Amino acid sequence: MPEFQLTAHELIEQVNNKNTTVQKIAESLKKRILETDPKVKAYVRLEHAQSASKPAGESSGILKGIPVSIKDNICTDGINTECCSKILSGFKPPYDATVIKKLKDAGATILELKTNMDEFAFGSSTENSCFGPTRNPWNLECVPGGSSGGSAAAVGADEAILAIGSDTGGSIRQPASFCGVVGMKPTYGRVSRYGLIAFASSLDQIGPLTKDTRDAAILMNVISGHDPMDSTSVDAPVPDYTKALTKDVKGLKIGVPKEYFVEGLDPQVKTIIEEAINKLKSLGAECKPVQLPHTKYAVPVYYIIATAEASSNLARFDAVQYGYRTAERVKNLIEMYCKTRGEGFGDEAKRRIILGTFALSHGYYDAYYLRALKVRTMIKQDFDQVFKEFDCILTPTSPTAAFKIGEKTNDPLKMYLSDIYTISVNLAGIPAISLPCGFTKNSLPVGLQLLAKPFGEEMLFRVAHTYEQNTEWHKIKPKL
Ligand code: GLN
C-alpha cells in the first residue's frame, strides 16, 4: 500500500522497520493531495502543497516525520491562519498555538496548507467558507459536515495522515461521522486553547481527526496537558491513552438516552446504531436506557451562549493591526470599522454577531443569556446523574448522514438542528468520540458517538477501540 493510505501508527512502525522513510511518506502525501484535492477541496491555499514534502525537524519524538494537517483557525507561526474568513485574509500569526508547538516537539511535520472550515467555525457543512465548500469524499455532491469539514474530508480521502480540528458544538464529531473517520472532542481543559482563534471560549476544544482510534490516542497523548498560557487548561496528569486500547468491554455499563432516539432521527441511522448496540452487547457490555431530560433545551441554549461569546470574541477584528481593511475612502474610524466588518464577515458570521449582541444587550441579558447559563447547568447535571451509575453513554453522532451541498443553506434552523446530538457535550464540558459504525443504502458513512464523564477519555478509547477492532468499518475507503 502507498504511504498516504496508511495510519500514523502503521507509518511509525514502517519507518522503524526501515520499510519506508519520512521523505517517502512526505512525497506520497504531496502527490495524493495534488491529485485528489482539486476534487475534494479539503485544503485551502493549495499553493503551499510543497510543504508536505519538507524534511522533518530534528526531534526524534513519536511523530517524527509524520505530516499533520491543521484547521485554518489554529495559529501557525508565519503561516496563513485565516479562519476561512475574508476579514483575516493575509494574517500570518507571529507565534504557534500550544498544540502546534507540542506537535513540532513530537517531530511532526506541520503542513503549510490548512484545512477548510466554516468561517470562524460557524456552521455544520463547511459551506460558510470564503474559499467555497469542501466536498464529501464518499459523494462529491454532499457536504463533509462542519465546521472541521476540511480536516475530516482530508483524512477520509487519504489526503491527510493525521488532522487537527476544533469542536464548539460538534465541529469535530459531526464531520468525522459524515466522512467515515474518527474524531474526538476532549474534556474542556484537557487540551490548551492557546492559539486557537476563539469562537465561544467556554465551549471550544481542539481535538484529533484520524483514520482509527489508535491514531486518535497517539495524537491525544501529544496535544493534551496543562498550559500556563491557557488559564482554563487543567493541571491534571495525562495518562498514556494507548494503554486504554484494551479490546475489552466486558461488564461495562453503557447508557442509551431515549431523548436521542426521537423524531428527526433518520430510520436508517437508527437501525445502524441499534446494530452497534447489539455488537457491544455481544462483546460483553451491558447497554441500558437512561434519561437526559434537559436534552431538548440544548440547541436553544447553545445558540444563545455560543453567539453571545462569539459576538464578543469577534469584536477584536477591527482592521487596525492585521487582516482585511476596506479599500474604500472613509471619513473616520467608525466608518472604517463599519465598512471593513461589513465587507469582511460572511452572512453567517454577521447573523451570529447580531444574535449574540442582542442576547447580551441591556434588558435582554437576564431573559436570555443568564437563563441559558442556568439551563446549561441543568444539562450538565443530567450527565452527572447518569455517570454515577454508567461508564459511558452511546448515541448517534448526527441524526442523518451527509446531506447535499446547498440543501440547508437557506434554512439556518435546519442547519442548526444537524448538531442536536453533539451540542450537549460542549455545554457540559465532557469528552466524546465519534467513530464509523456503518453505511446508509447510498453508501454514506454513519457515526457512533460515545460520551464519558470529565477526563474519561480513556473509557472512550477503550469502548471505541473494542468496537472498531471487532468491525471492519474503518477499513472501507471511498472510491475517488
Ligand atoms: N455547527 C455548530 C455551530 O455552527 C458547531 C460548530 C462548531 O463546533 N464549531 O455553531
- pLDDT tens-digit profile of 69-90? 999 999 999 999 999 999 999 9
Run of H or E residues at 23: helix 22-40
Cα angle value 271/423/409 (rounded, 5°):
80
302 to 61, 192, 308, 378, 424: CA distances (angstroms): 39, 22, 10, 13, 8
Res 55 pLDDT > 70: no
How many domains does the chain contain in total? 1
Q: Is 434 close to ligand 1, i.e. is its CB under 6 Å away?
A: no
Answer yes or no: is 317 within a domain.
no
DSSP 470: T
408 is catalytic: no
HEC readout, 282-326: HCCCEEEEECCCCHHHHHHHHHHHHHHHHHHHHHHCCCCCCCCCC
CA of 306 to the centre of ligand 1 (A): 9
CA 299 to chain centre: 18
Angle CA(216)–CA(222)–CA(228) in degrees, nearest 5? 130
User: What pLDDT was estimated at residue 58?
Assistant: 64
Strands 114-115, 432-439: parallel, antiparallel or unpaired by DSSP? Answer: unpaired
Q: What is the pLDDT of residue 56?
A: 59
Residue-level pLDDT at 49: 83
Which three three-digit cell numbers place residue 268? Answer: 436508517
- Tell me, yes or no, whether 342 lies in a domain: no
Residue 126 in domain: yes
Give helix 267-282 / helix 457-469 axis angle, nearest 10°. 90
- Is 211 within the bounds of a domain? yes
- Is this model's pTM higher than 0.95 or not? yes
Task: Give the pLDDT confidence score for residue 384 in this predicted structure.
Answer: 98
Mutate to test the pocket of ligand 1, among 71, 73, 124, 413 (most ligand atoms within 8 A of CB): 124
Residue-by-residue DSSP string for 177-200: HHHT-EEEEPPTTTB--TTBPPSS
pLDDT classification of 50: cutoffs 50, 70, 90: confident
Q: Give the model's pLDDT for residue 370.
A: 95
Residue 311 preceded by cis peptide, ω within 30: no
Judge whether 139 and 132 are in contact, CB under 8 Å. no
User: Does residue 288 fall inside a structural domain?
Assistant: no
What pLDDT score does 57 carry? 61
What pLDDT digit, counting tens, does each position of 9-41 carry? 999 999 999 999 999 999 999 999 999 999 999
Question: Ligand 1 atom 5: the closest Cα is on which residue?
Answer: 169
Q: What is the pLDDT of residues 318-369, one digit of tens each?
A: 989 999 999 999 999 999 999 999 999 999 999 999 999 999 999 999 999 9
Residue 470 confidence (pLDDT) above 80: yes
| Ligand 1 close to Cβ of residue 123 (< 6 A) | yes
Residue 59 bears catalytic tag: no
Amino acid letter, 461: F
CA dist., res. 434 & res. 25, Å (int):
27
- Tell me whether residue 332 is in a domain: no
SS3 (DSSP) at 115 = strand
The single residue of 171, 177, 224, 434 carrying the catalytic annotation is 171
Q: Is 356 in the pocket of ligand 1 (CB under 6 A)?
A: no
238-to-223, 387, 442 alpha-carbon distances in Å: 10, 21, 41
Distances (CA, A) of 22 to 25, 27, 58, 113, 156: 5, 9, 12, 19, 21
Are 163 and 115 contacting, i.e. CB atoms less than 8 angstroms apart? Answer: yes
Segment 226-232 shows an average pLDDT of 98
Here the CATH number for the domain that contains residue 434 is 3.90.1300.10
Burial (CB count within 10 angstroms: exposed 0-12, middle 13-18, buried 19+), residue 408 = buried
Question: What are the grid coordinates assigned to 95, written together?
Answer: 507565534
Q: What percent of the chain has pLDDT over 90?
A: 94
Within a domain: 322: no
- Ligand 1 close to Cβ of residue 168 (< 6 A): yes
Residue among 475, 417, 420 nearest 449 (CA): 420
Of the residues 30, 41, 64, 71, only one is catalytic, namely 71
CA 178, CA 20: separation in Å to the nearest integer?
31
pLDDT at 59: 75
Phi and psi at residue 305, to the nearest 5°: -65, -50
Say if ligand 1 is within 6 A of residue 37 CB: no
Question: How many angstroms does the Cα of residue 116 sit away from the middle of ligand 1?
Answer: 14
* Domain range for 396: 3-254+388-475
Q: Is there a catalytic annotation at residue 60?
A: no
Q: Exactly one of 124, 125, 147, 424 is catalytic; which is it? A: 147
pLDDT of residue 319: 87
Say how many Å lie between the CA of residue 58 and the centre of ligand 1.
Answer: 37
Number of the ligand 1 atom closest to the C-alpha atom of 148: 9
| Residues whose CB is less than 8 angstroms from the CB of residue 150 and which lie 6 or more positions away in sequence, other chains included | 41, 42, 43, 44, 71, 72, 114, 115, 116, 117, 126, 134, 144
Query: Does the residue 289 lie in any domain?
Result: no
CA dist 251 and 358 (Å) reads 49
Which residues, at least 6 apart from 111, have a Cβ–Cβ distance to it below 8 Å? 43, 48, 51, 52, 67, 68, 69, 70, 160
In the block, residue with C-alpha cell 481543559? 189
